[in-house]
Amino acid sequence: MEFNFQFFMNDIVQQARKEIVEAGYEELRTPQEVDEAFSRKGTTLVMVNSVCGCAGGIARPAAAHAVHYDKRPDHLVTVFAGQDKEATARAREYFVGYPPSSPSFALLKDGKICTMIERHEIEGHEPIAVVQKLQAAFEQHCDEV
């Protein structure tokens, strides 16, 4: 039996996309979609998705659970590093002062970066710790809903 790596990876990518969309995040797959989403008024949480283990085991579960909070972003969006490369590159142009990192979270207000939770703050941590970091950012930058 021959192992088809590309078929295997396509399945992983589709599952990763499905998980974050089902959590309420809008997929941004082109630079134009990124610009449109980031031009919206209010706060926007950007989840930079990836296929690594810490994305599936920590970041995506944290992304899903963190938004169940009194203060939360107005908009939830995601770009997929390594998959939607142009959209991810455009999103990263907005993350001034932060190096590329995936998975990661960026919190924007009116299209400007407020804060970022980078891979080193996700990898090796429990999902609840990432939820708490996200909710601390929401507490500081978001309005109550």
| 142 in active site | no
Catalytic residue from among 16, 34, 46, 52: 52
For position 1, what pLDDT does the model report?
A: 63
Three-state DSSP at 95 gives coil
Share of the chain above pLDDT 70, in %: 99
The confidence score (pLDDT) of residue 104 equals 97
Summarised one tens digit per residue, pLDDT across range 59-105 is 999 999 999 999 999 999 999 999 999 999 999 999 999 999 999 99
**Residue 114 catalytic?**
no
Report the distance separating Cα 13 and Cα 5, nearest Å: 12
Among the listed residues 28, 45, 54, 106, the single catalytic one is: 54
The candidate with the shortest Cα–Cα distance to 48, out of 36, 65, 37, 60, is 60
